[in-house]
Amino acid sequence: MPKFKNEDAERGFWASHDSTDYIDWRKGRRATLPNLRPSSQTISLRLPKPMLDRLKLLANKRDVPYQSLLKVAERLKVEFESGENSRR
């Protein structure tokens, strides 16, 4: 297995190489990563009060936190605007 100076070098290497040349996946074992969390960044966002009130009302109807509903709505909008049509 090659050694890399940094993640960018490793990313570039794996973009042009096949891992089966270096790893025997038949010998792989399932791993559990209990502390793995998606990376996220806290931001400050100012919304008009009527919009925030409507968002909270919609979230309450769906029994989800309004921040989660906002993240889903923004993800869908970004996917739409960037031409991605995949849904998770």
pLDDT in tens, 23-59: 898 998 888 888 887 788 889 999 999 999 999 999 9
The residue behind tokens 């559990």 is 32
Q: Residue 69 domain-assigned?
A: yes
pLDDT tens digits, 74-84: 999 999 998 87
Query: Distance between CA 80 and CA 78 in Å, rounded?
Result: 5
Rounded to two decimals, the pTM is 0.51
Q: Residue 52 domain-assigned?
A: yes
Contact between 66 and 56 (Cβ < 8 Å): yes
Q: Residue 21 domain-assigned?
A: no
Q: What is the domain range of residue 68? A: 44-88
Count: domains in the chain: 1
